[in-house]
Structure 1
Amino acid sequence: MVYHHLYSKFARDGQVRAGVIGAGNYGTAIVTQDPHTPRLSVVIVADISLDAARGAYLKAGFEPATIAYADSVEAAQSAIEAGKRVYTDKPLIVVDLPSVDVVCESTGIAEASVVYALRAIENRKHVAMITKDCDVTVGPMLKKLAREAGVVYTPVDGDQHGLFIQFYEWAKSVGLTVISGGKATDGEFIYDDETGVARVVTDKPIHSPYQASFVVDPEDRQYLQMIPQGLTQDYVARRTAILNKLPQPGSYDLCEMTIAANYTGLSPAVDTLIHAPLRITEIPVAYCEQEHGGLFDRAGKIDLATCLRAPTESGLGGGVFLVVRCDNAYSNHVLTTKGQIANYDDTAAVIYRPYHLCGVETSTSILMAGLLGIDTGSDDYLPRYDLVKIAARDIQAGEVFGNDHSPQLVARIVPAQPVAPGNLACSHLLVGNRALVDIPAGTAITYDMVEEPAGSPLWGLRRRQDQTFLTQEPAVAAPRLEKV
């Protein structure tokens, strides 16, 4: 990479001072990389749990004597000027602090996230948006406001959608035609051909009705072999049915792909995404156009893949992938014969990044914002699509809607619509709010089914985004909305 050349030649300052709001797993990883990352100093960490905020510094190896608690901007500023790192349980200190250049918003709570992001932008601070719940709801408006204020609003390296956006931008910059792309789910399906056992490798808990492993029926095992030429649709359909006992992608996966679609203009083929279980070698076979043996009616699609592999094979590592071609015949010959994995007629090849390092590599986005004043997303961030929710079970009037990890609801990706009665509700405008009516299982949640919280900054900014970008007619044709 050429980052160090860019920093040394064009940096506006020698050091970037970052503040982290939300010391969960992701935010903590930003802090623990501080001592090892040139030009980056995390000067303050905020969390409602003081133990979490202080613990981020301790995990990074800072001596207790070098960190200090502060409950005001003045106290925090004095401590930093004295060479201390600050922790606090008052997040607004971070966005008001003169010693912070970049605010890393990592609360995971959209209602809180939008407050901190707006205040940071008003204070002329860059925002590294890690809370995808906020980004998927009002990200385009926040980016517009940041641009008008002369600061950066950016997705982050380390989160899959952020990495995918950069990967897509790179492909376009070197003249590749992007047929499709997406991210790998964190869990991978391991199939042992000798024993017939299929199992999942994941760091997430496994809940009923899913199971960690099972023995595949002998008559089904052929569908877990390499997809033969011309049989993609049959194999993917059968394989999906066979492996549906293992954990499937969650709403959080579709959330990231919604953000990526809004940044890139790639579109989902169906509102659920296909999310096929595929070997790396099968991605260009399945995720290309139907005329070349794939699943898509046309190029320009976004989707998920769950890596299917043998116990001794390497996987996708929760990374990102693109299926591409070169439109020049000679260039395409080079693409498909110099080590890249191609489909059967050599009209598409997969290129992939088999890792995402969460907060560990987020420093790239922070430094690009703070040193160069540029983001690691793209300029064409528009509210093309919304993540919406379907009731997975009967929901009673007065019941509180859960988040993307709740089994109460399942997600779909649809063309974005303004906040209005009868329109499908953006999923994170539901979270923590009550159902106004009884909602039968299988029902798509609309705005007239949810009680709008009084004075919500998130709902207010979403309406402003709708007025800025959306008309009553969706900008893209709606895919068919599948029921549960």
Structure 2
Amino acid sequence: MIYHHLYEKFAKKDRVFAGVIGAGNYGTAIVTQEPHTPRLTVAAVADITADAARKAYEQAGIDGDGIVYCSTAEQAQAEIEKGRHVYTDQCEMIARIPIIDVVCESTGIPEASARYALDSIRRGKHVAMITKDCDASVGPILKKLADEHGVVYTPVDGDQHGLLIQMYEWAKSVGLSVIAGGKATDGEFVYDEQRGTVTIKTDKKIHPPYVETISVTGEERKYLGMIPKGKAAEYIAKRAEILSRLPQPGSYDLCEMTVAANYTGLRPAVSTLVHAPLRITEIPIAYCETVNGGVFSERGIIDLATCLRAPEESGLGGGVFLVVRCDNAYSNHVLTTKGQIANYDNTAAVIYRPYHLCGVETSATILVAGLLGLNTGSDTYLPRFDLVKVAARDIEAGEVFGNDHSHQLTARIVPARPIAPGNHASAHLLTGNRARVDIPAGTTITYDMVEEPAGSTIWELRRLQDKTFLA
């Protein structure tokens, strides 16, 4: 990486002062890395409970006289100038502290996220957007408003979509043709051939009807072997059937891919994504064009993969991948014979990053924004696609719509459409709002099925985004 050279030669200031809104797991990881990150001060942390904000600093080893509670921006500015770190339960205060350069929005609540991001932009602060729920719905208009105000709006290193966007930009910069790109789901399917079992390796709680381990016998074992040439579609379909009782990708996985699709222009082959269980070595075999034995009819596809591996093998670690080729025969020979994993006819190879470090590596984005005034996404961010929701069960009028972790709804990625009766509703304009009518299971939620909340920032921004890009 050349970031340290850029900081040394082109930084607009010596140090970046960041504020974090939302002291959950992700936000806390940003805070705990601060003492170890040159040029970065996480000067203020806010959460709806002051105790959570304070604990983020304590986990970083910053406590005692080093931290202080403040309830106003004026108090906070004075304490930060004395060298202290500020925690608060007044989340709107972060953007109003003069010394803050970058606001890291990490609430995970789309309405609050939209409000804090918009206020930060209007007050001349850079925004590192961590709440993907907000980004998927109104990110393009927030970026446009940031550009107009001369500040940065950016996805972040550490989140999978941010890492995929960067990998895609790198591939374009060196002249690779991208056939497909995507992320690995956090869970991995560990196939113990000797025992005849497949177990999901995950840190998430497993809810019925899903189970942690299944047994496989007879013909099923064949389809868990290496995909033979020309059999990708058959093997993927059979694996989906065999492994269906194990936990599957969630709406939050599709949410990240919606953001990445809107930045890169990669598009889903099907609205639910294929999300095949694949060995790393099978990704270029399956996720290439059908003419070369894969499952995609054309190049430029975005999707998910769940890593299928043996107990002793390393996995994808929730990382990201691209399936690429060189359009020059000589270069493609180099690509497919110098250690990269290729498909059977050497027309595609996979390049992958087997990790994402969440907030631990987000400081790179914060520093690029604060020191250089640049984002770590791509130049173009358009509302090409929407994440939308489908009722997983009957929903009664007046029932509150859940978030991406709710079992009430499933997700799809479809072409973006403006707010209008009959149009599929952008997923996170539903979150926390009520159903206007009874909705049968299997129905894709449309705007006329949801009660629009009064005075909603995210709905207001979405209308502006529709007018700007989709009119």
Q: State TM-score, norm by structure 1.
A: 0.97
Partner of 1:25: 25
Aligned residue runs from structure 1 range 38-437, under 5 A: 38-437=38-437
Contact 1:284–1:342 (8 Å) recurs in 2: yes
- Cα deviation, 1:418-474, whole Å, max 9, x if unaligned, reads 000000000100011111111000001000000000111110110000000003xxx
Matched, 1:455 2:455: yes
Residue 240 of structure 1: how far off its partner (Å): 1.1
- Cα deviation, 1:362-396, whole Å, max 9, x if unaligned, reads 00000000000000000110000000000000000
- Cα deviation, 1:24-43, whole Å, max 9, x if unaligned, reads 00000000000000000000
SS at 1:316 equivalent: coil
- Cα deviation, 1:20-61, whole Å, max 9, x if unaligned, reads 000000000000000000000000000011111000000000
CA distance in 2, matches of 1:120, 1:160: 24
User: Which amino acid in structure 2 is aligned with residue 121 of structure 1?
Assistant: I
CA distance in 2, matches of 1:441, 1:388: 15
User: Which amino acid in structure 2 is aligned with residue 268 of structure 1?
Assistant: P
Structure 1 outlier segments of 4+, above 6 Å? none
CA distance in 1, matches of 2:281, 2:188: 15
- Cα deviation, 1:156-207, whole Å, max 9, x if unaligned, reads 0000000000000000000000000100000000001111110000011100
CA distance in 2, matches of 1:65, 1:180: 51
Contact 1:255–1:387 (8 Å) recurs in 2: yes
User: Which amino acid in structure 1 is aligned with residue 382 of structure 2?
Assistant: L
Q: Show structure 1 runs of 5+ residues with no match.
A: 472-484
CA distance in 1, matches of 2:236, 2:328: 30
SS at 1:158 equivalent: coil
Residue 217 of structure 1: how far off its partner (Å): 2.3
Residue 79 of structure 1: how far off its partner (Å): 0.8
Residue 264 of structure 1: how far off its partner (Å): 0.2
Aligned residue runs from structure 1 range 468-479, under 5 A: 468-471=468-471
CA distance in 1, matches of 2:4, 2:418: 43
CA distance in 1, matches of 2:29, 2:223: 40
Residue 253 of structure 1: how far off its partner (Å): 0.1
Residue 64 of structure 1: how far off its partner (Å): 1.6
- Cα deviation, 1:242-301, whole Å, max 9, x if unaligned, reads 011110000000000000000000000000000000000000000000000000000000
SS at 2:45 equivalent: strand
CA distance in 2, matches of 1:318, 1:34: 24
SS at 1:315 equivalent: coil
CA distance in 2, matches of 1:143, 1:223: 45
Residue 74 of structure 1: how far off its partner (Å): 1.1
User: Which amino acid in structure 1 is aligned with residue 274 of structure 2?
Assistant: I
CA distance in 2, matches of 1:114, 1:449: 22
Residue 82 of structure 1: how far off its partner (Å): 1.3
SS at 2:20 equivalent: strand
CA distance in 1, matches of 2:38, 2:323: 35
CA distance in 1, matches of 2:380, 2:83: 40
SS at 2:124 equivalent: coil
CA distance in 1, matches of 2:283, 2:49: 43
SS at 1:119 equivalent: helix
Residue 99 of structure 1: how far off its partner (Å): 1.1
User: Which amino acid in structure 2 is aligned with residue 328 of structure 1?
Assistant: N
CA distance in 2, matches of 1:448, 1:63: 50
Residue 214 of structure 1: how far off its partner (Å): 1.2
User: Which amino acid in structure 1 is aligned with residue 108 of structure 2?
Assistant: G
Deviates more, 1:334-343 or 1:78-87: 78-87
CA distance in 1, matches of 2:121, 2:151: 7
User: Which amino acid in structure 2 is aligned with residue 392 of structure 1?
Assistant: A
User: Which amino acid in structure 2 is aligned with residue 373 of structure 1?
Assistant: G
Partner of 1:476: none
Contact 1:196–1:218 (8 Å) recurs in 2: no
User: Which amino acid in structure 2 is aligned with residue 170 of structure 1?
Assistant: W
CA distance in 2, matches of 1:386, 1:64: 46
User: Which amino acid in structure 2 is aligned with residue 458 of structure 1?
Assistant: I
Residue 63 of structure 1: how far off its partner (Å): 2.9
Residue 78 of structure 1: how far off its partner (Å): 1.1
Partner of 1:474: none
User: Which amino acid in structure 2 is aligned with residue 44 of structure 1?
Assistant: A
CA distance in 1, matches of 2:447, 2:116: 25
User: Which amino acid in structure 2 is aligned with residue 441 of structure 1?
Assistant: A
Residue 92 of structure 1: how far off its partner (Å): 1.3
SS at 1:281 equivalent: helix
SS at 1:56 equivalent: helix
User: Which amino acid in structure 2 is aligned with residue 436 of structure 1?
Assistant: R
Residue 13 of structure 1: how far off its partner (Å): 0.5
User: Which amino acid in structure 2 is aligned with residue 457 of structure 1?
Assistant: T
Residue 115 of structure 1: how far off its partner (Å): 0.9
Q: Show structure 2 runs of 5+ residues with no match.
A: none
CA distance in 2, matches of 1:358, 1:83: 27
Partner of 1:481: none
CA distance in 2, matches of 1:192, 1:7: 48
